[in-house]
Chains A and B, each alone.
Chain A
Amino acid sequence: MSTRTPTAPRPAPVGPRDGRRGRPGSVTRPPLWATVVKWVALALVVLLGAYLVQRTISAGYAFGVVLVAFVVLAVLAVYSTRRAVAMKYLLPGLLLLLALQIWPIVYTVATAFTNYGDGHSISKQEATDSIVASSVQEVAGTPRYRMSVAVQQGADPVTGGLSLLLTGPDGATFVGTPKGLADLPADGVTKTSTGKITAAPGFTVLNARQVNARSKDLSALGVPTAGGGGIKPVGLSEAFVGKTTVVYDAAADTLTDTVTGTVYVPKNAFWTPRTGDGAAYATGWKENVGLKNFSTLLTNDTIRSGFLKIFVWNVVFAVVSVGSTFLLGMLLALLFDDVRLRGRRFYRSIIILPYAIPGFVTALLWRSMYNQDFGLVNSLTHLDVDWLGNPWAAKAAILVTNLWLGFPYMFLVCTGALQSIPGDVREAAKIDGASPARTLRSIIMPLLLVAVGPLLIASFAFNFNNFGLIFLLTKGGPFESTDTSIGSSDLLITYAFRLAFSGVNPNYGLASTVSIFIFVIVAIMSYSGFRRTKNLEEVN
């Protein structure tokens, strides 16, 4: 800034001039405790990194390991040496920027190119495995067995091959292994009253915790029986004869239902009957769909017309909200800026009250006040307006509520800005013979607008995405009859939310695409807004 006072001549540095170059003995060393703290902190970072790497390995994310290693190395490189002084200050901010801003954007954009959503949340392999695993059916007319899990005597319970010690309904005992079913001689076998074998010669029976530790092996275990089925364990003490009814053919990439003979082929990320009739399996998979979500948004008639409608209302909502709250807030601020008014402090605190109550509570309160039959608004005004059921009334209700919620903030901002306008400016205007109105128009307002302009833009961006208010007050409704996914008071953000989370077919991919559009729109609007305030500053 041009009016800054010239800087005083720099005082001569204290201590040896070449101290930074590190001649032994002449360096001003930091105190011992600082060094200790620094190295302990660095060790903690490394430990934390090691822990996180463990977690990412067990979760199976190779890229996560690389990322954690990179961050830890960066921290070490920056803070353990005397180099990169500027980086010492920048690194935390840089890391947070990457983690909290860049990564979500990258992730959102990546999601926008997939069909990720309900029914499409896992890989094709997982989906196929799940369908095959879920197809096991109990073979009709087969017995249920009482079961104990055991290993051969002397084998390790953690790794040894598992055997199922089975008791049939008639009390006969068997040993089941992946090789097949064999008789277990009754000699030396002890059973509980229900028939579960607790000890058998040549076997070590596992306890509940040991069995549980082998859950994965157990679920993969099937004792083959005649007819292609297998004896499969249920829990800790029971087994049944089951048969897989769906087979995956890796070579042809098809699923076959052996009961009905239907062949399923992959189509639209679902296993669909090849012939086209019949239902697909419910479990689908996530796959890349390219620009499909973008083209859906731009070409689907319902969505496009709905999107445009929402967009127009969204802009109107944000502009009117900012305008109305600012006007009311500013007028009140001007009023209470007048020194002749007594008890200004008291009034000011009263006005700020709506701001002090959490918006969530207020919005729900207003919602009940707008009830046509039981609400306060209609009973006070003796009207019979269906506030939340009529599209126009709902929009009015939203704007009124947001005015109530938002004006105290504008009042605060304007009060602050007004108080910072120096008295001599007003005095000069008075001396020059300007009327109070003229002073307001030509002196106070421009100065005020320069100060609060950026805040108005911030407020605009906030209201553009004012999810909470809409969601709590109208949930986006009232809804048009042709498409209930688009409400007449929806903002783009509530629309995106419904698409992603509460809608008919939760679709994160499409919602990501909508949020990219929102981001671009808000960015363009804010940019032009800031350009404008810059012009305003230059005018002065």
Chain B
Amino acid sequence: MHRRAYAAMVAGSGAVALIVSGCGGSTPTTASTGAAPATTSATAPAPAAAATSAAPVRDANVDLVIWSDADRAPALTKFATAFGQENGIKVAVQIAPDTRQQFKDATKVGQGPDVLVGAHDWLGELVQNATVAPINLAPDVVAKLQPNAVAATKFNGQTYGVPYAIENIALMRNTALAPTAPTSMDQLITEGTKIKAASGGKVTNVLIQQVGKTGNAYYTYPYFTAYGGGIFGTKANGDYDPTKLLVDSAASLKGAAELAKLGKAKILTTNIGDDNAEALFDAGKAPFFITGPWAQTNAKKAGIKYAVSNLPTLPGGGQMQPFLGVQMFYVSAKAKNAALAQEFVTNYVTRDDVQTALFKATGRPPALKSAYDAAAAADPMVKAFFEAGKAAKPMPNIPAMNSVWGPLGQASADIVSGQDPATRLKAASAEIAANIAKG
């Protein structure tokens, strides 16, 4: 009796177990097919998410393949098609959601595009893996582009891209709350605190700036530059020199002390990160927001009346200078259609109408002087963002920069949350140096 009952139980629960578990074991049974998700007791990777972020499959039937992210693709498609008609060829613009990684992976196996649209700070990494080819722009074309945008396309003295847009962070303010633009951080804090006190709890923060638990060196870098600090020194030819670290220089330490002060005063907090910064500003919870041109889309959608001005000056220091980011076109080193790709980026992307269309699609100031002038005349915010980054240096595009983001970001988050700025920056500097040496 007992044995039989036991056997029945084992058989029964075994079947249940098999069905529920989706048969994690090795015996293939028909019961297993119906209940696949149950092998994972908690979070299973969602296949839908994977499908939407997959790399595009290179279109084999066209003469030129361009990869870009989803924002730029529609504007690009129009002009790529026009380029195709002018030259009697077929051009395809394909969307690669994670362009940087997917380009590297696809190029490795010979399935990459001919032309890539991306940020200039990818350059070092792309050269490291020999995935992009040099581009020879005619001197008269170079003269038509913004000089700092051209500087960003160079690596080790060689040009690797054609710039089409520049971007940098600036001070955005909610004009309904703060009608005038503060020029110094002290002024910003005084005004912001007044606005916060007068709002009756509606305004919760004086200043929104992404910090997050892991920090963000992109947003804390301007605090260092205000006192003349930075990340890397430069070589004789103007390239960044990874052996000259400025992270724990006296000037950078002054900036860190300012970060600590702002953290202590709860102006900056690690509880504001990439997940909630825009939402807070767009809900009218703060008068000031340090951000880039990309935040305009959602602010407009939320009906926020805003204006853009230069980053403030810091007490005892100068103007905060943000990183300059440059968006550009690369030609793949493994391009199957190298001649067309070169032609497209050197003679077509540098045209006024193409740069203007890309500006309309992305909202970032164009790199071509003539296109910028037209855009700035039509939209004061474009001019304001551009002015805020006018004296800015391009973000370093050397591979060593990858060693900086993590440690420096974390150090700034820790400083904001109360750790000693000097010790923290010195530790970060040591870690960065060690990482660069390892690389």
Contact = CB atoms under 8 A, between A and B. Distances in A.
Contacts of B271: 371-374
Contact of B42 (A119, A234, A281, A402): A402
Nearest to B271: A373
Interface string A165-185: 000000000000000000000
B301 interface: no
A452 to B, nearest CB: 7
Contact of A1 (B7, B336, B428, B431): B7
Contacts, number: 273
A78 interface: no
Contact of A417 (B13, B39, B427): B13
B35 to A, nearest CB: 10
Interface in B339-387: 339-347
A505 interface: yes
A134 B20 contact: no
A55 to B, nearest CB: 10
B28 A505 contact: no
Identify which of B127, B155, B335 gathers the most chain A CB atoms within 10 Å of its CB.
B127
A212 interface: yes
Interface in B1-55: 3-17, 19-21, 24-25, 28, 38-46, 49
B70 interface: no
Contacts of A368: 275-276
A59 B347 CA distance: 31
Given A212-B89, A237-B343, A483 B28 contact: no
B43 A469 contact: yes
B9 to A, nearest CB: 6
B201 interface: no
B125 interface: yes
Contacts of A214: 339
Nearest to B138: A144
Contact of B16 (A207, A420, A503): A420
A409 B42 contact: yes
Contacts of A136: 134, 136
Nearest to B45: A468
Contacts of B340: 208, 212, 215, 235-236
Interface stretch (B246-254, B317-325, B401-409): B401-409
Nearest to B19: A416
Contact of B39 (A374, A405, A458, A479): A458
A452 B20 CA distance: 10
Contacts of B435: 504-505
B128 interface: yes
B310 interface: no
Contacts of A417: 13, 16-17
Contacts of A412: 20, 38
Contacts of A371: 271, 276
Nearest to A122: B130
A212 B344 CA distance: 12
B88 A207 contact: yes
B99 interface: no
Interface stretch (A104-112, A359-367, A514-522): A359-367
Contacts of A462: 39-42
A118 B346 contact: no
Interface string A405-432: 1100110110011011110110000000
Contacts of B339: 211-212, 214-215, 218, 233, 235-236
Nearest to A234: B136
B122 to A, nearest CB: 11
A477 B20 contact: no
Contacts of A234: 135-136, 138, 342-343, 346
Nearest to A471: B43
Interface string B74-111: 00000000000001110000000000010010001110
Interface in B406-439: 406-407, 410-411, 414, 417, 419, 424, 427-428, 431, 435, 438-439
A362 B431 CA distance: 35
A66 B435 CA distance: 42
B338 to A, nearest CB: 4
A485 B406 contact: yes
Interface in B190-228: 213-214
A75 interface: no
B407 A424 contact: no
A240 B213 contact: no
B187 interface: no
B229 interface: no
A395 interface: no
B153 interface: no
Given A135-B158, A209-B89, A481 B13 contact: no
B43 A363 contact: yes
Identify which of B41, B129, B130 gathers the most chain A CB atoms within 10 Å of its CB.
B41
Given A282-B399, A360-B49, A218 B243 contact: no
Contact of A325 (B41, B156, B439): B41
A322 B138 CA distance: 65
Identify which of B139, B156, B241, B439 gathers the most chain A CB atoms within 10 Å of its CB.
B439
A359 B110 CA distance: 36
A25 to B, nearest CB: 37
A127 interface: yes
A451 interface: yes
B130 A59 contact: no
Nearest to B345: A235
Nearest to A478: B213
A483 B15 CA distance: 49
B411 A454 contact: no
Contacts of A133: 133-134
A442 B29 CA distance: 32
A406 B41 contact: yes
B314 to A, nearest CB: 24
A242 B158 CA distance: 12
A514 B414 CA distance: 29
B183 interface: no
A279 interface: yes
A214 B339 CA distance: 8
Contacts of B138: 144, 234, 238, 240
Contacts of B241: 279
B241 to A, nearest CB: 8
A466 interface: yes
Contacts of A211: 339
Contacts of B25: 454
Nearest to B241: A279
B124 interface: yes
Interface string A464-507: 00101100101101110111110000000000000001011110
Nearest to B273: A371
Nearest to A209: B89
B42 A373 contact: no
B41 A463 contact: yes
18 contacts: A3-B4, A121-B108, A122-B129, A209-B63, A212-B337, A215-B340, A235-B346, A236-B342, A360-B43, A360-B45, A373-B271, A405-B43, A412-B38, A413-B20, A416-B13, A451-B17, A505-B439, A540-B6
Query: Which 10 residue pairs are nearest across A and B when measured between Cβ atoms?
Result: A359-B43, A235-B343, A451-B13, A420-B12, A130-B130, A235-B342, A215-B338, A416-B16, A208-B87, A468-B43
Given A212-B339, A469-B42, A481-B424, 19 more contacts: A118-B125, A119-B399, A130-B333, A209-B89, A234-B135, A236-B87, A236-B342, A236-B347, A238-B346, A279-B241, A282-B399, A283-B130, A360-B43, A360-B49, A374-B280, A413-B21, A416-B19, A455-B20, A455-B24
Interface of A: 1-3, 59, 93, 118-119, 121-122, 126-127, 130, 133-138, 144, 207-209, 211-212, 214-216, 218-219, 232-238, 240, 242, 279, 281-284, 321-322, 325, 358-360, 362-363, 367-368, 371-374, 386, 388-389, 402, 405-406, 409-410, 412-413, 416-417, 419-422, 424-425, 447, 450-452, 454-455, 458-459, 462-463, 466, 468-469, 472, 474-475, 477-479, 481-485, 501, 503-506, 540
